[in-house]
Amino acid sequence: MTSAPPAGPGVVKTAPGPAAPPSTPPGRRDVRRALTRALPLSPAVVLLVLFLAGPIAYCAYIAFTDLQLTGQAESSFIGFDNFKAAFKDDAFLNAVWLTLVFTVLSSLIGQNTLGLTLAVLMQRASKPVRTVTGGIVIAAWVLPEVVAGFLLYAFFRREGTLNAVLDWLHLPSQNWLFTLPILAVSFANVWRGTAFSMLVYSAALNEIPKEITEAAEVDGAGGWRRMWHITLPMIRRSIGTNLMLNTLQTLSVFGLIWVMTRGGPGNRSQTLPLFMYEQAFQKSMIGYGTAVALLLLVVGSLFSLVYMRLLRTEV
């Protein structure tokens, strides 16, 4: 720690001017200084390379093999066969479809719209109501995933609370986890995830200057028009980032669905993560399961890149 006293930031900033003499090759001192400075990064980099980049690279490799849970040694390279098999596999296509339904219903429509609605209402509501509602919605978000799964399992079961409420309202009740399992788990994800959108949108709405909305109000613009022409355009960046993060979170939901339905009945709520798990462990086809995982990872990466573009001014 005694080597190379860190120079003040001013020294680093001075780039060679346009008329700089032919620059001497960076001296050994500079290299040593750069290395000393980068040293604190090394524990993080080692961890990330070994336990994050490593598995991703390994994932890209075994997706092209026929590795099985039994007989580890005998895996061989089979090219794109896993992917070809996947797109002919009805169970896989079913999982893709259900993942799409789950994501659109619970993330794009549910969490996002409900979160925005709650944030807008909170701007106008009285303080006690705001505090109580915020507390309840956030409590649902803070609970561990598995606990949320159990609470909603109880809620949607035939003998559960939802049917009791429907009976009380003289509406038809049914066995939700059997008749509409994907709808039930989507609602569960809305219950669990809306707080995040609500917090993002509340923060965004608070940053809109009061004068702007008040001016529009005095000019006689109604609530919907103010929302459409003023509020939404002003928070569009928050909408973008929130949609991306919600979607990424929803794509990787496993525990919630596992606890509520195990992907069933049959495979009627089996989204891609559950399908991947079943192929890899219950059917012992690690290679095939990983191919599905790689597809999920690629889709996630695309969303992640879009998210970064939305944030690009931040770095």
Partner 1 sequence: MPGSTTLATRRNSRRYAADAGLLFVAAAFVLPLAWVLLSSVDPKADLLVKVPDGVTLDNFDAVLKPDITFTPLLNSLILCGGATLLTVVCAALAAYPLSRFRSRLNRPFLLTILFATSLPITAIMVPVYALFVQVDLIDTMQGTIFFFAASQLPFAIWLMKNFMDGVPKELEEAAWTDGASSFQSLLRIVLPLMGPGVAVVTVFSFVMMWGNFFVPFMLLLTPDQMPASVSINDFFGNRGTVVYGQLAAFSIIYSTPVVLLYVLVARRLGGGFALGGAVKG
- C-alpha distances out from residue 217 to 3, 111, 118, 206, 287, Å: 64, 28, 21, 17, 60
Distances (CA, A) of 233 to 152, 216, 227, 236: 35, 14, 9, 5
Residues 57-86 within binding reach of partner 1 (CB under 8 A): 58-59, 62, 67, 72
Residues of span 36-55 touching partner 1 by CB under 8 A: 36-38, 40-41, 43-45, 47-48, 50-52, 54-55
Q: CA dist 225 to 3, 115, 229, Å?
A: 64, 20, 6
Residue (56 or 93) nearer to partner 1, CB: 56
Question: Interface with partner 1 by CB under 8 A: which range of 21-29, 79-87, 99-107, 251-259?
Answer: 251-259
Q: How far apart are CA 45 and CA 53, in angstroms?
A: 10
Q: Which of residues 106-125 bind partner 1 (CB under 8 A)?
A: 114, 117-118, 121-125
Complex with partner 1: residue 92 or 258, whichever CB lies closer = 258
Which of 237, 265, 266, 283 binds partner 1 (CB under 8 A)? It is 237
Cβ 291 to partner 1, closest distance in Å? 10
Residue 105 binding partner 1, by CB under 8 A: no
Pair of tokens at residue 304: 């992640």
* Coil vs helix vs strand at 67: coil
155, 163 contact by CB (below 8 A): no
71: left (phi over 0), alpha (psi -120 to 50) or beta: left
Site residues (CB under 8 A) for partner 1, limited to 252-311: 252-255, 258-259, 273, 276-277, 280, 286, 289-290, 293-294, 296-297, 300-301, 303-305, 307-308, 310-311
Q: How far is the CB of 16 from partner 1 (least distance, A)?
A: 14
Residues 164-203 that bind partner 1 (CB under 8 A): 164-165, 191, 196, 199-200, 202-203
Measured CA to CA, the distance from residue 212 to residue 233 in angstroms comes to 13
